[in-house]
Structures are given as C-alpha cells and as structure tokens.
Amino acid sequence: MDSMLSVFLGLFFLGPPPVTWSHDVAPILYRNCASCHHPGGVAPFSLLTYSDTARHARLIAAVTAKHAMPPWLPAEPHFAHERKLTAAQIAALARWSEEGAPQGNPADAPRPPVFPDGWQLGQPDVEAAMTAPFDVPADGPDIYRCFDIPAPAATAHYVRAIDIRPGSPQVVHHVILFQDITGAARRRDQGSGYTCFGTPGFLPARGLGGWTPGSLPFQTPEGMPEILHARADLVLQVHYHPIGRPMTDRTKIAIYFTNQKPTRTGADIPLVSNRIDIPPGDAAYKVTDHFTIPVDVEVIGINPHAHYICRDMLGYAVLPDGKRITLIHIPNWDFNWQQQYVYEKPIRLPADTEVFMEFTYDNSVNNVRNPNHPPRRVEYGPGSNDEMAGLHIEVTPVDPDDDDELRMTLQGKMVRDSGGGGLRGGR
C-alpha cells in the first residue's frame, strides 16, 4: 500500500514520466518512417539509431505536427500499410523534442527493422536494368522517357511481385513498368530510350507495376498473378524531374514468379478528365467523371493522380439504393507522394453502382504548392506544371463469368473518352 501511495504521489508532484527515444520514439519511427529513413533508403537521413534521430528531434516534431511526415495523404477510408500518426504519437514526438530528446534505457528499445542491402523481397527470379545510364540535366522541363529492356524470359511466367529501384531517386518522380510483345519499343530505343508520355508507344500496353517514393514492392492480390509473356520485352516509363544539378539514373527491376495460376481477373475503371483549363486565381476549380458498373465487383485498390495545384481529391460510389461509400478522400493532395492504395478489405459494390471522381484545384496565391508566382493559366498537359485528373479504381468481378461484360462496358467508356464525349469537367 505504501509503495502504491508513493507511486501516486510521485506522479502527482512530478508529472508523467519523460518521453524517451528507447521507450516511446523508436517504436513510432520504426513502424511509420524507417521504410524510407534507413541507410540506402530514399530519405536524406536514417532514423534507425538514437544518435541519428536525436539530431533531428526538432525537425521531426515540426514536420509531424504539420502532418507533412510521414507522407500519408488519404483521410478516409482505411487502407493497408497506412503510415499515419495518431494525435497521441504526434504529441509524444513534440514532448520528446521539448524535453531535450532523452535516450532513456537502451534496453527498452525495440529491435530496429532490417533492410537488406539487396532486394526487399529477397533474391528475385529475374533481375534487370536499363541497358545504359541516362543523364538527367540540372534544369529544364520534366522528362518522360521509355527504356526498352530485352526479353528476360523465353517462356511465359506468372508474376507474384515486382520491385523497382531507381538509380537516382532524387530525380525520379515515378516509374511504370510495361511489357511489350510487339517489338515496337525495341525498334524505337536506340540505346538511350525514347520520349513517351501516357502510353509507352505501343498497344496493347500491359502494365506490370510501378514505383513512387516510399512505396513498397508491388505484390499482386491473392489469386491474381500477372502474366509475363514469353519473349516480351520489359519497358520502363520513367518520369524525371530536374532538381538543379545534373544526375545520372539507371533504374533496376526485380521480378518474382509463382506457379499458382490466376483464380480471379482484375480490371481498371479509369475515371479521367482532360478538360482542364484553370484561370489564374481560381481557388475551387472542379473536374469530374463517373461510370456505372454493370456487374457485382469487389474494389481492391485505387490510384489517384494529379499535379501540383490539385488540392482535394474525392472518389465515391453511389449504390443502387442511394447509399454513398467513400472510396478515397485526400483533402490535401501532394504531388510528391502519390501512390496506389490497397484496401484493408475489398469493398463489395453491386451491379449498377455508379462511381464518381471529383477533383478540386487551387490556382491561387494561397496554394503553397502552386509552382507559379504569380499564378498563371494551367491547362491539361504532360508537364508537372500542367495538370491532370485521373482516378483508377482496381476491381475484380464477383462472378468470373461477368468479366467479359465488364471489359466491354469499360471499352465503350474508353472509346467515348478518347472522342471527348465521355470526359466531364471544367466549366
């Protein structure tokens, strides 16, 4: 009883115990930040040791208080692999900085995560790279470049995972990996790639995966491995963003095979608009698109895309009974941290559900991410200082026999979009 009284009096007079690196801070950073902040990671410094972290204590407190780090954009719903701090965790990091960043008892610290020097998923079945380095100039417009990699497999394989590692992640904004069964990319690439934007310059353009800063290796959903066709070339589409000094990139790829055949099929519902013409000073310019899903589906992932002055992204579904479900809401878009999001559990949508995209752009002086000072008119285009609007909803039919109907309906939408009739937005 006396000991309990002593503890109570100690807490009453002395306040709560100090926040320490070992007991409080390390678990937060290891779970939410270390995937980028480790030796060899894309972040500029490591956060795996006390000495590495303590020197950045004030910076950590500042950027987490502003929700700038860790870079998790969706406000809702919940997704797998979230990197989002709670209010209590943000307060703990602030207290740790204010109290002088004490280490505490090293024995209390969890074991730091291990990041292999090689590929995150271990030895791949295929490892490939751009055939030659590519020089990115110090200044100038963004560069969209495609690089052909000769066919890595003489026979077809099912792919369960793909990892991509840029040689110079400072200038690589994102990477998309395609496979080419036509030979067109090989003919166009004379050794240093070729200019490409949107599609990689051949059809069909079969996507295999991608990379954005901080992203995890792409792993196919359960029962949905991708097929790598026999003698298909790999084609990297790389978006480079000059940073003020010349850089050289040679992006690498790791591919992991599986013997398991697909048991489900996937489809991409593209909600898009190219009717973008934003006057300077307009702080609430909206573009929209929608699509009616003809069959029962499960939504497994979603991938939003826009450039600098997009502010708010909303994707939602309206069920046949009128119920509305939020598929994604990003109230503070950041061009530098886009990625594909996978749901914790698939979202079931019945036939005749309508899905909507609504993006809002802020082309005013109050938008701190506006690259133009003063603001200028911004139109649809490929450069980072132009704008885009795209929300790709990844679904799988509940009944595999409905796959053809879904694909035919999607093909009709894409034909209408390419002719302008199905694109909505602007004013």
Contact 354, 271 (CB under 8 A): no
Answer yes or no: is pLDDT of 17 > 90: no
pLDDT tens digit string along 186-232? 999 999 999 987 678 888 877 888 888 767 788 888 889 999 999 99
Q: What fold, for 267-418?
A: Jelly Rolls (2.60.120)
Q: How far apart are CA 198 and CA 414, in angstroms?
A: 14
Residue 380 to residue 256: CA distance in whole angstroms = 37
SS3 content of the chain, % helix, strand, coil (to 5): 20, 35, 50
Give the chain's radius of gyration (CA, Å). Answer: 24
What tokens does 308 get? 């600098």
What are the tens digits of pLDDT across the range 239-259?
A: 998 989 999 999 999 999 999
The percent of residues above 70 in pLDDT, for the chain, comes to: 94
**Which CATH code for domain 126-258?**
2.60.120.310
Residues 6+ apart with CB under 8 A from 97: 57, 58, 60, 61
Residue at token pair 């409080």: 24
Q: How far apart are CA 227 and CA 157, in angstroms?
A: 6
Is the pLDDT confidence value at 342 over 80? yes
- 126-258 and 267-418 have identical folds: yes
Which pLDDT tens digit goes with each residue over 184-199?
999 999 999 999 876 7
**From CA 347, how far away is CA 398, in angstroms rounded?**
11
Is there a contact between 376 and 274 (Cβ–Cβ < 8 Å)? no
349 and 267 Cβ atoms separated by less than 8 Å: no
pLDDT at 14: 58
CA atoms of 178 and 234, how far apart (whole Å): 6
Residue 335 burial (C-beta neighbours within 10 Å; 0-12, 13-18, 19+)? middle
What is the predicted pLDDT for the residue at 193? 95
Q: Which residue has the tokens 């013409």?
A: 277
- Taking the model in full, what pTM does it have? 0.81
Domain ranges of the chain: 16-108, 126-258, 267-418
The two three-digit tokens of residue 136, written as one number: 């990115």
Mean local confidence (pLDDT), 395-406: 94
Tell me the pLDDT band of 68, cut-offs 50, 70 and 90.
confident
Q: Is the Cα dihedral 393, 396, 398, 403 positive or negative?
A: positive
Phi-psi region of 92 (alpha: psi -120 to 50; beta: other; left: phi over 0): alpha
pLDDT tens digits, 88-139: 999 999 999 999 999 999 999 999 998 777 788 889 999 999 999 999 999 9
CA-closest candidate to residue 361, choices 338, 342, 389: 389
pLDDT digits 0-9 by tens, 27-47: 999 999 988 888 877 788 999
CA–CA separation, 292 and 319 (whole Å): 10
> Which of these, 224, 221, 228, lies nearest to 254 by C-alpha position?
228
Q: Are 180 and 153 in contact (CB under 8 A)?
A: no
67: Cβ–Cβ under 8 A, 6 or more apart, which residues?
Answer: 85, 332
Mean local confidence (pLDDT), 147-173 = 92
Tokens matching residue 397: 């039919």
Rounded CA separation 354/321 (Å): 11
